[in-house]
Structure 1
Amino acid sequence: MKKLSGFNKFMYVVNITLAVLTLMGYVLPYLAPKLFPFLSVLTLFLPLFLIINLIFCVYWIIQFKRQFLLSALMFVLGYTFFTQFYKISATHKPVEEEDFTVLSYNVRLFNLFDWIKDENVSENIKRFVEEKQPDIICFQEYSKSADFEFDDYKFRHIVMQGNKIKTGNAIFSKFRIIDQGEIMLPQSDNNVVYADIVKGKDTIRVYSIHLQSINISPDINEKIDENRSKLIFNRISKAFKEQQVQSELIESHMRDFKGRKIICGDMNNSAFSYVYRNVRGDLNDAFVEAGKGFGKTYNYPYYPARIDYILVDEIFEVKQFTTFSQFKNSDHFPIMARLKIVKNK
């Protein structure tokens, strides 16, 4: 460091600080948010840390400085985290008769309160479903306010709650549902529903989950001052603690079911969080298996937030995964996976 210029010494101090924060980001998904609620917020910034580490790596390499090793090490250690954030190429395998598709979509009450200035939002969503024809649909923030029915789906499980405004989770299926239920989330308007769906000779338990929101507005015109920054961090910390309890309830419920599982829904948290790690367990993330790009599922400016997921047991081959980021009829984007049950797994 003695041979560095004054500016490069400053840059290297910043680099070291970034490395420490990156390491903390790697460790935090293994620690319950209740222990470090404020620090858990760092997991939201882990993708940014990885990108800046790459920039630092290039910065030192073009100067032939060995300081590049620090950022290179950080990136190598976190390579598996990077693949959850960005995929270079997608998987798209040939369609077979045994394939089936699963759609997950937070529909934001079908635009009940006109957040989007388009009176055709609910009809747009209906046409989208009719066009894509998924075999199984998991809706979050579902509402019966939309004046239409999904006629192609004879089997359904809908759980609504609330007094004046009723919202909830819904599962629609072209395949027969033989059992269904709900996981009540304590002191929350959110919930989890599940349905046991029969496809051929196989029974699949499908969960539609919607975890505690962090309640941050995506309004880019809203001024972010010091007081609001503190409010945001406190709100995120509180939501992460609530999500921890919710994820542990889901994990316990899934552990009691020994059959094949598919988890769909809005976790309101990143793929680098304790919550995601807890719910995912040993399941495969369909985006990681077959997606492409950032996989952004929440329409938040400047940041590719992936907070909606389709997680599947190892027995399911993920043959295709699509994020419909051009379909802007909610604050979330729909995601869909094409799956196949592989018997020898």
Structure 2
Amino acid sequence: MKKLSWFNRVVLWINIVLTVLTVISYILPFMAPKVFPILSVFTLVMPLMLVFNAIFFVYWLLQFKRQMLLSGLVLLLGITFVSKLYRFSSKDREPVSGDFTLMSYNVRLFNLYNWLPDTDIAKKIPAFVKEQNPDVLCLQEYNKVGNNSFSQYKHSFIYTPDKQSGQAIYSRFPIIGTGDIQFPGSANNVVYADIKKGKDTIRVYSMHLQSIKISPDIHENIDEQKSKVIFYRISEAFKRQQLQAEIVQQHKNECHHPMIICGDLNNSAFSYVYRSVKGNMNDAFEEAGGGFGRSYNYKYYPARIDYIFTDENIEVKKYETFSKFINSDHFPIMTRLGFTKEED
């Protein structure tokens, strides 16, 4: 410490504070948000913490200072979190007979309230889906505007409890069972369909968990009072999400079919909610994705809040985020899957 310049001493103290906050954020996914609701907000900024730790590591490394060990050890301890943030290469295995594709997309009511100036979005989304041609399609924030737009699918389950917003599952394969999961005190929900593919029956869950109600332009005109409101709103949403995630966890524990869970969790991959819903399933992005996997159209932050989780005996062969298709506040995500073994 004595050999450091005054500037490097300041940098070191900032580095130490960041290290402590990062270690705390590593623990938060294992702690229920209702215990420390305000602290749970830190999981949203963990990607920035990891980036800043990497910057500090390089800063000290270039000076050959042993202080590089501080952020270096933190990054090493959080290596599993780094893989959730960024994948350096994607996987794309050759398709084989028996593979199938699934797309998940929050369509934001097909722009019903003209959030975007384009008036043709209700036509562009079905056209895009037809072009990508997924075998199974899961749509969140679905509206009856889309009822006659996906005629290429013979089987569907459409659920719109408030006649305005709901969810839909479309499938090329027969749907032999359907259902929904209602959350107390919330308009959000989960729908599921048991899909028959050859000899296999797959349960596909499509979910839309509690929104934190933060718009993409949150960074504009922010002040102290607004910051307090935002923190409170996020912490309250996280508490609701915890209850919803635990309901989903209990429901899927009673399912005896291979499962795929997809949809909009409205939370990061570093959260208790993500960990609770995912359980021991595979994250398709981690298995075959590349880059940040950004699924929410926030200008300055690579937010990944939409997911596809797969059963352990379902292999993820390809994963793609369509981040250039801007017709909602979310981007479509799609994966190609195959069974590693036949269902008994």
TM-score band, normalised by the shorter chain?
over 0.9
Aligned equivalent of 2:286: 288
| Aligned-residue identity in percent | 57
Question: Residues 176 and 184 of structure 1: is their aligned pair in 2 closer, same or farther, counting only changes over 3 Å?
Answer: same
Deviations 1:63-111 (A, max 9, x none): 1110000100000001110111101110000011211000000000000
Instruction: State the alpha-carbon separation in 1 of the partners of residues 4 and 124 from structure 2.
Output: 59
Counterpart of 2:303 in structure 1: which amino acid? A
Aligned equivalent of 2:5: 5
Q: Which moved more, 1:4-13 or 1:276-285?
A: 4-13
TM-superposed deviation, 1:146: 3.8
Deviations 1:13-32 (A, max 9, x none): 11110000000110000000
SS at match of 1:265: strand
SS at match of 1:294: coil
SS at match of 2:50: helix
1:249 is aligned, of 247, 250, 261, to 247
Contact in 2 for aligned 1:140/1:169 (Cα 8 Å): yes
Counterpart of 2:36 in structure 1: which amino acid? F
Aligned equivalent of 1:342: 340
Aligned equivalent of 1:267: 265
Counterpart of 1:173 in structure 2: which amino acid? S
Aligned equivalent of 1:111: 111
Instruction: State the alpha-carbon separation in 1 of the partners of residues 108 and 328 from structure 2.
Output: 6
Contact in 1 for aligned 2:200/2:342 (Cα 8 Å): no
SS at match of 2:52: helix
> Is 1:169 equivalent to 2:175 in the alignment?
no
Aligned equivalent of 1:31: 31
1:216 is aligned, of 201, 210, 214, to 214
> Is 1:80 equivalent to 2:70 in the alignment?
no
Aligned equivalent of 2:45: 45
Instruction: State the alpha-carbon separation in 1 of the partners of residues 226 and 146 from structure 2.
Output: 35
Write out aligned runs for 1:140-179 (5 A): 140-146=140-146, 148-162=148-162, 166-179=164-177
Q: Which moved more, 1:211-220 or 1:310-319?
A: 211-220
Contact in 2 for aligned 1:182/1:194 (Cα 8 Å): yes
Q: Which moved more, 1:147-156 or 1:318-327?
A: 147-156
Instruction: State the alpha-carbon separation in 1 of the partners of residues 52 and 265 from structure 2.
Output: 26
SS at match of 1:296: coil
Counterpart of 2:238 in structure 1: which amino acid? F
Contact in 2 for aligned 1:183/1:192 (Cα 8 Å): yes
TM-superposed deviation, 1:173: 0.6
Contact in 2 for aligned 1:106/1:142 (Cα 8 Å): yes
Question: Residues 344 and 127 of structure 1: is their aligned pair in 2 closer, same or farther, counting only changes over 3 Å?
Answer: closer
Instruction: State the alpha-carbon separation in 1 of the partners of residues 27 and 147 from structure 2.
Output: 47
SS at match of 1:304: coil
Contact in 1 for aligned 2:122/2:145 (Cα 8 Å): no
Q: Which moved more, 1:72-81 or 1:152-161?
A: 152-161
Contact in 2 for aligned 1:220/1:301 (Cα 8 Å): no
Contact in 1 for aligned 2:44/2:270 (Cα 8 Å): yes
> Is 1:94 equivalent to 2:97 in the alignment?
no
Quote the RMSD (CA, aligned, Å).
Answer: 1.2
SS at match of 2:328: coil
Instruction: State the alpha-carbon separation in 1 of the partners of residues 69 and 214 from structure 2.
Output: 37
TM-superposed deviation, 1:159: 1.2
Instruction: State the alpha-carbon separation in 1 of the partners of residues 271 and 122 from structure 2.
Output: 32
Instruction: State the alpha-carbon separation in 2 of the partners of residues 85 and 76 from structure 1.
Output: 14
Contact in 1 for aligned 2:15/2:71 (Cα 8 Å): yes
> Is 1:55 equivalent to 2:55 in the alignment?
yes
Aligned equivalent of 1:233: 231
SS at match of 1:329: coil
TM-superposed deviation, 1:220: 6.0
Aligned equivalent of 1:16: 16
Contact in 1 for aligned 2:155/2:175 (Cα 8 Å): yes
Deviations 1:201-251 (A, max 9, x none): 000000000000000111267300111111111100000000000000000
Question: Residues 69 and 223 of structure 1: is their aligned pair in 2 closer, same or farther, counting only changes over 3 Å?
Answer: same
Aligned equivalent of 1:127: 127
SS at match of 1:56: helix
TM-superposed deviation, 1:258: 2.1
Deviations 1:259-309 (A, max 9, x none): 200001000000000000000000000000000100000001100000000
Counterpart of 2:31 in structure 1: which amino acid? L
Instruction: State the alpha-carbon separation in 1 of the partners of residues 18 and 219 from structure 2.
Output: 29
> Is 1:201 equivalent to 2:199 in the alignment?
yes
Give structure 1 stretches of 5+ with no counterpart: none
Instruction: State the alpha-carbon separation in 2 of the partners of residues 285 and 72 from structure 1.
Output: 26
Contact in 1 for aligned 2:205/2:262 (Cα 8 Å): yes
TM-superposed deviation, 1:147: 6.8
Instruction: State the alpha-carbon separation in 2 of the partners of residues 229 and 144 from structure 1.
Output: 36
SS at match of 1:145: helix
Contact in 2 for aligned 1:193/1:207 (Cα 8 Å): yes
